[in-house]
């Protein structure tokens, strides 16, 4: 029976992905900064561990407690929207610490066991913001674009050790990370001068023509983790799929 470790399982994509892998019969190690009781079903194949992907000590402790794993899903992420000139550099650094450096750190910590065993898969969850330019999301997009490049390069690097590396690119949904896991208020990051430009964009965010569900993402992660065809990118949700086809 295979074991997957998933980061960022307190809500959203990570939580649904943990449920999905459990339903498929895998052992699941669901990690989150602050474990919460009752959000996942009682199951002998489930363990919930604390993990802050921005802390080297937390990563080492969690992986030691987890033991050998067959798959790593780097899902933990935070979002921010707004005009670049009004986005504090402290917020930009926070976004990169989780979305970029956290993914790299988790991957670096897991690679040795995969390489030695000559098996394993790493699935990095990015965003459809990497597939087409999206206004008011420059910092978030940059943090995710870095992981797109990182993943593509790493796939070549680890291929010789039979370690697979995949990308899942979720589309936009009502619970998207642009509005989740952020302490920045829109009124603080969209100056008055930007209002005429920003208002129709924010209105479109509120009523998207196509949406991606958490189940869409969980299924894409599942397919990516089990894929042996060499496919790198797995768009998740109808809007992400449409962008790939354009």
Annotated catalytic residues are 140
DSSP class of 23: H
Tell me the Ramachandran region of residue 12: left when phi exceeds 0, alpha when psi lies from -120 to 50, beta otherwise.
left
Strand order in the sheet with 71-74: 46-50, 27-32, 3-6, 71-74, 121-125, 164-170, 233-236
The DSSP letter of residue 134 is: -
Cα–Cα distance, 133 to 141 (Å, whole number) = 8
Distance of alpha carbon 143 from alpha carbon 1, whole angstroms: 34
DSSP string of 142-168, one letter each residue: HHHHHHHHHHHHHHHHHHTTT-EEEEE
Q: How is residue 219 written in tokens?
A: 């299924």
How far CA 212 is from CA of 13, 19, 41, 96, in Å, comes to 10, 17, 24, 24
At 176 the three-state DSSP class reads coil
| DSSP line for 57-126 | HHHHHHHHHH-S-SEEEE-------S-GGGS-HHHHHHHHIIIIIHHHHHHHHHHHHHHHHT--EEEEE-
């Amino acid at each position: 029976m295979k074991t997957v470790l998933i980061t960022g399982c307190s809500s959203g994509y990570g939580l649904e992905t943990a449920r999905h892998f459990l339903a498929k019969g895998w052992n699941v190690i669901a990690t989150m900064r602050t474990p919460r009781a009752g959000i996942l079903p009682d199951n002998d194949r489930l363990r919930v561990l604390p993990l802050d992907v921005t802390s080297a000590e937390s990563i080492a402790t969690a992986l030691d407690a987890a033991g050998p794993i067959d798959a790593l899903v780097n899902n933990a992420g935070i979002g921010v929207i707004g005009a670049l000139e009004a986005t504090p550099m402290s917020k930009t650094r926070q976004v990169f610490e989780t979305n970029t450096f956290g993914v790299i750190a988790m991957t670096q910590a897991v690679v040795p066991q995969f390489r030695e065993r000559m098996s394993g898969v790493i699935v990095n969850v990015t965003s459809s913001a990497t597939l087409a330019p999206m206004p008011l999301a420059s910092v978030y997009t940059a943090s995710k674009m870095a992981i797109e490049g990182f993943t593509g390069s790493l796939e070549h690097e680890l291929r010789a050790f039979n370690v697979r590396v995949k990308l899942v690119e979720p589309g936009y949904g009502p619970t998207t990370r642009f509005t989740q896991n952020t302490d920045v208020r829109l009124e603080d990051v969209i100056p008055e001068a930007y209002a005429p430009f920003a208002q129709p964009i924010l209105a479109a965010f509120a009523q998207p023509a196509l949406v991606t569900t958490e189940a869409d993402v969980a299924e894409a992660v599942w397919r990516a983790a089990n894929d042996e065809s060499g496919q790198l990118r797995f768009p998740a949700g109808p809007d992400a799929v449409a962008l790939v086809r354009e």
